[in-house]
Chains A and B, each alone.
Chain A
Amino acid sequence: MFDIDLWREIFQSINKNRTRSILSGFTIAFAILLFTILFGIANGLENTFIELFGTDAKNSIVIFPGRTTKAHKGLQSGRRIRFKNEDYNYILEEFGDNVEYITSKVNRNVEASFKGEKNSYQVRAVHPEHMYIENNVVEKGRYINNRDLQNRTKVAVIGNAIKEDLFIREEAVGKYINLNGIPYKVVGVFSDDEGDNEENVIYTPITTAQRVYGNNDYVDFIHLTYNPKLNYDQAIAFGNSLTRKLKNKFDVANDDQRAIRVRNFAEGTRNVSQMMFVLNLIVLFVGSGTLIAGIMGISNIMVFIVKERTKEIGVRKALGASPRSIVSIILLESILITSLAGYVGLLIGATVLKIFGPGLKDYFITNPGVNSGVVIGATIILIISGALAGYLPANKASKIKPIVALRDE
């Protein structure tokens, strides 16, 4: 394989027949170009979906109470369902193994002020684990902790955006922020890479909110993440059984879709990954179709080349060329043309993606491109393709009888 003289022979032959070699490489270059662009676009679509989901935990399940729409067990429809702390405990008791993080939530809009600055924001009263569910990053100070829950302390963790609006150049941690007239001590500032929307939020302990907003133990909704060890199907099954159990607990008809709603991200994630699978399949299908056309093209032209070189091959055999050396020449020539052409296609494809990629954001395509894995894969595919394309002509060449090749004058 790495016989330098053999390569010299091959380069000489390709060089002498440049036009022919370029022509035969054209289809392969085109196939790889198409493949690269399709693949890049599929990649871009996937990137868009990933971005849409944000950096929130992708294994989220959110449970909202609502109103019943069906009479059930002697209870009339239109009944309001409310979660309490016991429901949070119930979920942990029943499904503790399947739960990674869990938080109850009470959401309120408040008028917040510090010194002269004021604005309205959302307060989310949560459990400490909320930090992991929402992927909040504490920039300064700390997050809500268990002591806050126990003591129902009036503490707040504010988003970076709020800090900048209300505290401007002042240090926020340790100061008191006024929420609807009640002073809360700011114990932390957080950031969220989903941007300003998610940073215009104030977190307080859930227990504090329950006391301040009615002295009860009501919960607006419950947000949890399922154990990441669960696969999509298991996660969906978990969501379903959670829904059923809760409906049962609240005497809600099983087919009542409004009373208790469970939003399981696993379903969406599974849909996206299924869609990506199908998309990749299509890309693979189209790509390999073109590739096969390219291989057949090269093979055809190589057969033609062998025919054209019949005489030369006959002479070589008369001079003592072994069948193997003839096969090597044709096969390696085919592999070389295929690989070179393929890389040209890959290069053009990658360049096209690089130039036009940023403009495709409006079409749900983010950062289309090829990675090194694709390049390595393409190399292997090209070498195999070249060998496939060269096989038939090489075989033909090795079967050429010198006597037949040397006749016909």
Chain B
Amino acid sequence: MLKISDLHKSYAIGDTSLHVLKGIDLSVEEGEMVAIMGSSGSGKSTLLNIIGMLDVADSGEYILDGLPIDNLTEKKAAVYRNKFLGFIFQSFNLINYKNALENVALPLYYQGLKRKKRQELGMFHLGKVGLTDWAHHLPKELSGGQKQRVAIARALAANPKLLLADEPTGALDTKTSYEIMEFIQQLNDEGKTILMVTHEEDIANMCKRIVRLRDGVIMEDKKVTQVRASQYV
């Protein structure tokens, strides 16, 4: 699914430069569910953003689904993001003046689908996260868990191959976190490849593999037995 080798990334801070990723080698197969862990500032988000083509690496190789990702134009990157990737953010990042359905349908708009088709698909995905009744509510009328479910539905709407989640449960209480994880596990069961950043061990253990970052390199990369979230909810 994706293969990264010797990836480097630095940020310029004033005159000095901060070397955040110092040679990352990582490959993820289709159907995997990977948790990326590490202390704050270890470069987890940076790595995920590069994988999501929201940011670019300084050097190294990155191949996504057989396509080398290198020197993409903004336009091409937009197409890839739209076609291959679904994003779930810690702070949901819903558009506040659009209702749940409109938010979910937005990636479909950028795919060029007709309005009717978008509404249909949007409702379908809202149904999958159990929010059919909330389709016409604005984000501010939803709870945190509901917002994240809308965000998941939105990430799924364009039917991406790879789902990227940066601390998807970071803003949620434990119970809601498990509910969200249950959804994500379900998606993985259906075959979606998932990469998620998390700080919480229990959340990480609900994945199938844990990658630990420290000082810009991968310190540990191990398979784990997945803990099912359903047993807690």
- Chain A interface residues (CB < 8 Å from chain B): 4-5, 9, 12-13, 16-17, 311-312, 314-325, 398, 401-403, 406, 409
Contact = CB atoms under 8 A, between A and B. Distances in A.
Interface in B89-111: 89-91, 93-98, 106-107, 109-111
B96 to A, nearest CB: 8
A13 B78 contact: no
A129 to B, nearest CB: 73
B110 A325 contact: yes
B22 interface: no
B115 interface: yes
Given A403-B49, A406-B89, A409-B90, A317 B55 contact: no
B95 A406 contact: no
A232 to B, nearest CB: 58
Interface residues of B, number: 29
Contact of B74 (A12, A13, A319, A322): A322
Contacts of B106: 316, 319
A5 B98 CA distance: 14
A319 B89 contact: no
B31 to A, nearest CB: 23
A321 B78 contact: yes
13 contacts: A13-B97, A311-B93, A318-B54, A319-B158, A320-B107, A320-B110, A322-B74, A322-B78, A322-B79, A324-B75, A398-B74, A402-B54, A403-B55
Interface string B63-90: 0000000000011001101110001011
Main secondary structure of the interface of A (DSSP, over half): helix
Chain A CB within 10 Å, residue with most, of B52, B78, B95, B96: B78
B75 A406 contact: no
Given A321-B78, A403-B49, A312 B95 contact: yes
B149 interface: no
Given A325-B110, A402-B54, A403-B54, A320 B79 contact: yes
A220 B81 CA distance: 94
B162 to A, nearest CB: 13
B138 to A, nearest CB: 10
Nearest to A17: B97
Contacts of B54: 318, 401-403, 406
A321 B87 contact: no
B44 interface: no
